[in-house]
Amino acid sequence: MYRSHNCGELRATHSNETVTLAGWVQGIRDKGFMVYVDLRDRYGLTQLYFDEEQTPKEILEKAQKLGREFVIQVTGKVQERASKNPNIPTGDIEVLVSELKVLNNSKTPPFTIEDSTDGGDDLRMKYRYLDIRRNPVKNSLIFRHKVAQETRNYLSSEGFIEVETPYLIKSTPEGARDFVVPSRMNEGQFYALPQSPQTFKQLLMVGGMDKYFQIVKCFRDEDLRADRQPEFTQIDCEMAFVEQEDILNTFEGLTRHLLKEINGVDVDKFPRILYDDAMRLYGNDKPDIRFGMQFGELNEVAQHKDFNVFNSAELVVGIAVPGGNSYTRKDIDKLIDWVKRPQVGALGMVYCRCNDDGTFKSSVDKFYDQDDLAKWAEVTGAKAGDLICVLSGNTDKVRAQLSALRMELAERLGLRKPDEFAPLWVMDFPLLEWDEDTERYHAMHHPFTSPKPGQLELLDSKPGEVKANAYDLVLNGNEIGGGSIRIHDKATQAIMLKHLGFSEEEARAQFGFLMDAFEYGAPPHGGIAFGLDRLVAILGGQETIRDFIAFPKNNSGRDVMIDAPAPIDKEQLEELNLKLSL
Ligand code: ASP
């Protein structure tokens, strides 16, 4: 038996018991005649005590030679401490050690194993196993486990069955590149790793599984964006014989369950917003609604004067910044510089101060009088003391720019509170999205998403206007889940693939298996997938997902600990019939 108790367990009620503990040396305080050692394991810290009078000499000496992160086993008697530490659960007691065994030595760790460490990101990732010993990382992993567990509890109790789907498959387009795996046994052929189990979960519905879920790895070879991982985890779900409303209710239930069990938060029925309205009011399809600052479109009240910048713009749109009239001229200039940064890309910004006496002072007073500005205030909902910020230009661009400004200002104003949760359904996404690079339409969600009833006919005449039976679940400005009601008949699927630019042969080669399945009694079905990494980070009140992943990749998609990806040797290449042309 290595231990009778763990390091987080002992209390004053255990006094005089003889116990055996094992763990890592967190720190040593050697006063010569007395030695204190903090012993750590996953469960906590326990103080070990040695002194000249009570501890056998050779054990005291052994204790004095311990180093940080040595692995030891001790036996001793629990006693109340002379000076108690109210900050830790075991702070009332210590163990007076009578036996000490060093189970393993340790080199001095390259960074301190403390809650706030001196280790930089790269170092922590290289020695991730040491990083995991730190409370913040350890606790994040435990937190993730709880979220996964509660997810399983909820979905199982709702009748969902967890089914594993294969990782070595054929491409399933979800809008990214595939990671591919060469097949040794099938020369010149490749598997693709799933970007999601989309087609398999649909086939499970054809197979009559009715309600499926899986907590599953997905792989997407995307260009690197901050806080994205090439492999990530989804809570992937599908249901048969459902309409959109059934899916929304079920997964609103899951989200509410998680918020309740994990965060102790009760949330009312989730609000719903149409995609078009989200874009109009927030410039964004994943609006953070923990705060207001909705957009006010100003074309009607700003394009009737001689101000050409506005007159020539497709959209003139503003937001009211609460209390923003307190900004100095310099503050506002900085804000203008901020929106002009290449990452945001605005050409400039017009502003209007809303004074306490009800008057206005704008940067375009030459063109607009008080009555005009009063209308701006009305449209943007600005009150006395606010600042109205106005951007203009191409609709899509200007919405994205103002949305970035809205988020930035809310952050600065402390309106994005991590302990507040504001979920929201965004619905009726466009079915197709124009891609500038390839100059053709792409499925905005994926090619298996069904158009809204009665809109299939529009595909020929106005493809950009067709809406999909697709929905996203947004939490605090992040898309945490997305899904759709699927196409479940061959003819519609064929029309859809044709519009996405697949020839009949291509459609057959890539999706023949699915179209065939649709001919054998495919039930109406739909589903959703949640991004588990992000969901866990948000529930944990954090912005980055990295610490909720045990062994994450860095921003170049590398695992710096095991040093992957890496070349493979010549024999392996030959076996796979691969040649590298350098
Ligand atoms: N497969 C989709 C995704 O990964 C989710 C879904 O439609 O259920 O985003």
User: Partners of 221 in the beta sheet?
Assistant: 177
Phi, psi dihedrals of residue 136, rounded to the nearest 5°: -60, -40
Give the separation between CA 8 and CA 11, rounded to whole angstroms: 9
Average pLDDT, the chain: 95
130 within domain boundaries: no
**Domain-ending residue, one of 412, 445, 476:** 412
Residue of 172, 198, 215, 479 to mutate, ligand 1, most atoms within 8 A of C-beta: 198
Which structural domain, as residue segments, surrounds residue 394? 291-412
277 within domain boundaries: no
Give the separation between CA 539 and CA 413, rounded to whole angstroms: 22
Instruction: Specify the residue with its C-alpha closest to ligand 1, atom 1.
Output: 198
pLDDT at 223: 82
Instruction: Specify the residue with its C-alpha closest to ligand 1, atom 4.
Output: 196
Tell me how far the alpha carbon of residue 557 lies from the centroid of ligand 1, in angstroms: 22
The atom number, within ligand 1, closest to the CA of 236 reads: 8
Place of tokens 């009150």: 383
**Residue 104: Cβ within 10 Å count:** 9
Indicate whether residue 447 lines ligand 1 (CB < 6 A).
no
What SS3 state is found at 308?
Answer: helix
- Geometric angle at alpha carbon 181, from 178 and 182, rounded to 5°: 130
Whole-model pTM: value is 0.94
Long-range contacts of residues 214-220, Cβ cutoff 8 Å, at least 24 apart: 214/162, 214/163, 214/164, 214/165, 215/148, 215/151, 215/152, 215/162, 215/532, 216/164, 216/165, 217/167, 218/174, 218/194, 219/178, 219/179, 219/193, 219/194, 219/195, 220/174, 220/176, 220/177, 220/179, 220/195
374 and 433 belong to one structural domain: no
328 within domain boundaries: yes
Tell me how far the alpha carbon of residue 215 lies from the centroid of ligand 1, in angstroms: 13
393 and 433 belong to one structural domain: no
Indicate whether residue 233 lines ligand 1 (CB < 6 A).
no
502 within domain boundaries: yes
Task: Name the residue with higher pLDDT: 449 or 225.
Answer: 449
Task: Name the residue with higher pLDDT: 161 or 461.
Answer: 161
296 and 392 belong to one structural domain: yes
Q: SS3 for 132-175, per residue?
A: CCCHHHHHHHHHHHHHHHHHHHHHHHCCCEECCCCCCECCCCCC
The atom number, within ligand 1, closest to the CA of 484 reads: 7
Tell me how far the alpha carbon of residue 482 lies from the centroid of ligand 1, in angstroms: 6
**Residue 384: Cβ within 10 Å count:** 13
Give the separation between CA 247 and CA 485, rounded to whole angstroms: 9
Indicate whether residue 484 lines ligand 1 (CB < 6 A).
yes
For the cut 90, the answer to whether the pLDDT of residue 97 exceeds it is yes
List the CATH number of the domain containing 454. Answer: 3.30.930.10
**Token output for 311:** 């007159």
53 within domain boundaries: yes
Indicate whether residue 540 lines ligand 1 (CB < 6 A).
no
Tell me what the mean pLDDT of segment 514-527 comes to: 98
Indicate whether residue 302 lines ligand 1 (CB < 6 A).
no
Band of the pLDDT at 171, cuts 50, 70, 90? Answer: confident
Which amino acid is located at 189 in the chain?
Q
Tens-digit pLDDT profile for residues 250-260: 999 999 999 99
402 and 507 belong to one structural domain: no
Give the separation between CA 323 and CA 412, rounded to whole angstroms: 12
For the cut 70, the answer to whether the pLDDT of residue 216 exceeds it is yes
51 within domain boundaries: yes
In 3D space, the residue among 165, 228, 225, 220 whose CA is nearest the CA of residue 192 turns out to be: 220
Tell me how far the alpha carbon of residue 181 lies from the centroid of ligand 1, in angstroms: 22
**Token output for 21:** 């503990």
**Domain-ending residue, one of 364, 379, 412:** 412
The atom number, within ligand 1, closest to the CA of 198 reads: 1
259 and 345 belong to one structural domain: no
Tens-digit pLDDT profile for residues 336-392: 999 999 999 999 999 999 999 999 999 999 999 999 999 999 999 999 999 999 999
Give the separation between CA 272 and CA 250, rounded to whole angstroms: 15
Q: SS3 for 2-67, per residue?
A: CCCCCCCCCCHHHCCCEEEEEEEEEEEEECCCEEEEEEEECCEEEEEEEECCCCCHHHHHHHHCCC
pLDDT at 396: 96
248 and 307 belong to one structural domain: no
**Token output for 372:** 């005009």
Tens-digit pLDDT profile for residues 142-157: 999 999 999 999 999 9
Q: How many helices (H) and strands (E) does the chain have?
A: 17, 22
List the CATH number of the domain containing 94. Answer: 2.40.50.140
Tell me how far the alpha carbon of residue 451 lies from the centroid of ligand 1, in angstroms: 16
Tens-digit pLDDT profile for residues 312-344: 999 999 999 999 999 999 999 999 999 999 999
* Strand pairing report for 423-427 and 272-274: parallel
Least confident range from 163-167, 270-274, 456-460, 526-530: namely 456-460
Band of the pLDDT at 436, cuts 50, 70, 90? Answer: confident
In 3D space, the residue among 543, 541, 530, 288 whose CA is nearest the CA of residue 424 turns out to be: 288
534 and 451 belong to one structural domain: yes
126 within domain boundaries: no
259 and 301 belong to one structural domain: no
380 and 466 belong to one structural domain: no
pLDDT at 290: 96
Indicate whether residue 529 lines ligand 1 (CB < 6 A).
yes
Residue of 445, 471, 480, 514 to mutate, ligand 1, most atoms within 8 A of C-beta: 445
Tens-digit pLDDT profile for residues 499-515: 999 999 999 999 999 99
267 and 145 belong to one structural domain: yes
Residue of 212, 236, 429, 534 to mutate, ligand 1, most atoms within 8 A of C-beta: 236
pLDDT at 581: 66
List the CATH number of the domain containing 377. Answer: 3.30.1360.30
Give the separation between CA 79 and CA 249, rounded to whole angstroms: 55
Tell me how far the alpha carbon of residue 529 lies from the centroid of ligand 1, in angstroms: 5
Indicate whether residue 325 lines ligand 1 (CB < 6 A).
no
Instruction: Specify the residue with its C-alpha closest to ligand 1, atom 8.
Output: 528
Contact 332, 403 (CB under 8 A): no
For the cut 80, the answer to whether the pLDDT of residue 174 exceeds it is no
Tell me what the mean pLDDT of segment 561-568 comes to: 95
60 and 152 belong to one structural domain: no
Cβ-Cβ contacts under 8 Å for 101 (sequence gap 6 or more): 72, 73, 74
Indicate whether residue 197 lines ligand 1 (CB < 6 A).
no
427 and 408 belong to one structural domain: no
Contact 172, 198 (CB under 8 A): yes
Indicate whether residue 196 lines ligand 1 (CB < 6 A).
yes
203 within domain boundaries: yes
- Overall number of domains in the chain: 3
**Domain-ending residue, one of 387, 412, 437:** 412
The atom number, within ligand 1, closest to the CA of 234 reads: 4
Tell me what the mean pLDDT of segment 422-434 comes to: 96
**Token output for 226:** 């901050």
Instruction: Specify the residue with its C-alpha closest to ligand 1, atom 7.
Output: 483
Band of the pLDDT at 435, cuts 50, 70, 90? Answer: confident
What SS3 state is found at 250?
Answer: helix
The atom number, within ligand 1, closest to the CA of 470 reads: 7
Tell me how far the alpha carbon of residue 258 lies from the centroid of ligand 1, in angstroms: 20
For the cut 80, the answer to whether the pLDDT of residue 580 exceeds it is no
Tell me how far the alpha carbon of residue 448 lies from the centroid of ligand 1, in angstroms: 10
Taking each helix axis as running N to C, give the angle between helix 395-412 and helix 275-282, from 0 to 180 degrees, rounded to the nearest 10. Answer: 60
